[in-house]
Amino acid sequence: MRIRAPAKVNLSLRIVGKRKDGYHLLDTVMIPVDLYDEVQISRSKSKKAALGDLKVTCNHPLVPSGTANLAYQAASLLLTRKGILDPVHIHIRKGIPVGGGLGGGSSDAAATLKGLDRLFGFGLKRREILSLAASLGADVPFFIDARPARARGIGELLRRLPFFPRLWMVILYPGFPVPTRWVYRHFRFGKLTKAIENTSIQISLRDSEGLKRLLVNDLEKVAMRRYPRIAFLKQRLIQEGAVGALMSGSGSSVFGVFPSRQIARGAFHRLRKEGVEAYLVRSLS
């Protein structure tokens, strides 16, 4: 069984507080885009495979196997809960840059839950699969549906954004990951960013100036101080005609929102000629 696991970008990411356990409280707008990992799940046919044997592999050297992999954790959680001892092999083919703030690991975990549900015919109810997803990480529930949403809390409180317009974007990956924990650890609370107004999201998407106001990421300055390449790539997107540009999540990728597919495509080709790792994508709804 093969399942495509989409990436996401954060059109807005605001830090609005911090819990006693150290987790930061967010108000963020996340949208899935048509950049994918592929998750392949199969029951192992190897004669050497033992009952309860779970194997996770990946074609990218920076992605861990075993218990350090979020897809492994997702599979182990679900199979243990359902009492399944069949040997299972999961292979991940990366199309989403690693450590780029695009949610690849979380998306792979969500795809693993959905894939195992279909493969074994568990018939998981929505509430059950969302609960499992939330126990794995704050971004994983978003990828169960993979539709535009506003997320609050630590990212697990989701509200869908209906009638979301198609956006054409170019994503640039600087060639290195940024550790999520490092970024949050070095974020310093000053004057907290205001939460996103309920009415501002749809209004912002209707005009370029409104979109620019929506494109806020409180973690950008933290990452850019240590990695100036991120700021450089963001500026290049603006120079190439993006209405606005932003770092996604905790970095390291940046994306630009363009007025049309044609303009985005032109920017994409020019940036690739400069040797930048670039992806031409559109939002999914």
Which of these is catalytic: 8, 94, 114, 234?
8
List CB contacts of 89: < 8 A, sequence separation 6 or more.
41, 42, 43, 44, 55, 56, 57
Q: Which of 27, 37, 108, 139 is catalytic?
A: 139
Residues 6+ apart with CB under 8 A from 56: 65, 66, 69, 71, 72, 75, 89, 90, 91, 92
Distance CA 161, CA 10 (A): 13
Q: Is 117 a catalytic residue?
A: no
CB atoms within 10 A of CB 166: 9
Q: Residue ranges of the alpha helices (H) in 14-103?
A: 70-81
**Closest Cα partner for 255 from 29, 70, 37, 62?**
29
* Rounded (10°) CA dihedral 76, 131, 195, 193: -30
The DSSP secondary structure of 219-237, one letter per residue, reads THHHHHHH-HHHHHHHHHH
Those residues with Cβ within 8 angstroms of residue 63's Cβ, 6 or more apart along the chain or in another chain: 69, 92, 94, 98, 105
CA angle centred on 204, ends 198 and 209, rounded to 5°: 145
**Is 139 considered catalytic here?**
yes
Catalytically active residues are 8, 139
